[in-house]
Structure 1
Amino acid sequence: MSQNQIKEKVLNIIRDHKIGVLSSVENNKPHSRYMTFFNDDLTLYTPTSGKTEKIDEIEKNPNVHILIGYDNEGLGDSYLEISGTSKINDSQELKDKLWNESFERWFEGPKDPNYLILQIKPESIRLMNNNGEPPQELSL
């Protein structure tokens, strides 16, 4: 599979699957939670509260790992393993762009000071379980 084909498959999985698992590091151990993801090409964004543990974890160690894409239709479902670095992005323009009414459950609105965006820059992306093929790495 060519790098262009891998990238196309990767972007399709990211666009089609908004829920994934974000793992950060806490006391040298992984700490995982489900998150909602958005993307701009290969850069991922996920909303979070400034009051959560993950903010402290990422400030101490920006390395994160994401699993996204499993369809729960069988053991051969394609998914992605993404390793990268995360930073807090509190740009009001980005917060407005990503705002969704479903966030009202946690935030008072897009101007809520606790509403933050984690921005994840991938360092490696592996396409897993793609039609029985071995893992395919996207060159970044």
Structure 2
Amino acid sequence: MAHDEDDNAKVWDLADKIGFCMLTTQTGLDLRARPMSAYAERLENAFYFLTDVASHKDAEVSRHPNVCLAFADSKGQKYVSISGTAEIENDREKIRELWATPAKAWWDNADDPSIRILKVTPSSAEYWDSPGTIISYIKMAAAAVTSSRPDMGDTGKVEM
């Protein structure tokens, strides 16, 4: 497998494992981020989110479709930043397919007419996958003593 394919797979694997991300949209001149439960669909080259038709992010995406998804597992020291283009869909079948426990906090059931799909098609990504907090601290301390740079794990940039 080529290095880019390895990096691409790493992005999808990390995002899928972490599951929640900060979705950043543009509100005019400002940027706004909020936590969202992401559904990674590698074969469809898309990330899906359930959203409400009355939410601000839907209007923001309509005006400024470029978004950023920031996934973070701070305990495991694993991070993914994905840039892409978002769109709002009213695909009732996909809504039922994605319906899961986190959605029950916002809606009674998958048939609620106010639920929409926010689909993000990724264009590029960057990831950081270090060995974990304790090992990272040990490597940083050793590097400080030896005046060298620590090996903090894998990192990569990939076009998606």
TM-score when normalising by structure 2:
0.78
CA distance in 2, matches of 1:82, 1:123: 8
Which of 131, 136, 139 is equivalent to 2:156?
136
Q: Deviations over 1:47-88 (max 9, x none)?
A: 1111111011111111101101x22226xx121111111001
Give the letter aligned to residue 122 of structure 2: P
CA distance in 1, matches of 2:18, 2:63: 28
Q: How many residues align?
A: 137
In the alignment, structure 1 residue 71 sits paired with structure 2 residue 76: no
CA distance in 1, matches of 2:70, 2:4: 20
Who is 2:138 aligned against? none
* Greater alpha carbon shift after TM alignment, 114-123 vs 3-12: 3-12
CA distance in 1, matches of 2:5, 2:79: 17
In the alignment, structure 1 residue 91 sits paired with structure 2 residue 111: no
Q: Deviations over 1:97-135 (max 9, x none)?
A: 001143222113111111111000011111135562574
SS of equivalent to 2:73: coil
Who is 2:4 aligned against? 3
Who is 1:38 aligned against? 39
CA distance in 2, matches of 1:57, 1:31: 9
Who is 1:21 aligned against? 22
SS of equivalent to 2:60: helix
The CA RMSD over aligned residues, in Å, is 1.8
- Identity over aligned pairs, percent: 22
Who is 1:55 aligned against? 58
CA distance in 2, matches of 1:2, 1:112: 43
Rg (Cα) greater in structure: 2
| Structure 1, unaligned runs of 5 or more | none
Give the letter aligned to residue 16 of structure 1: K
CA distance in 1, matches of 2:127, 2:117: 25
CA distance in 2, matches of 1:55, 1:128: 29
CA distance in 1, matches of 2:27, 2:65: 11
Change over 3 Å in CA distance of 1:21–1:12 after alignment to 2: same
| Structure 2, unaligned runs of 5 or more | 132-151
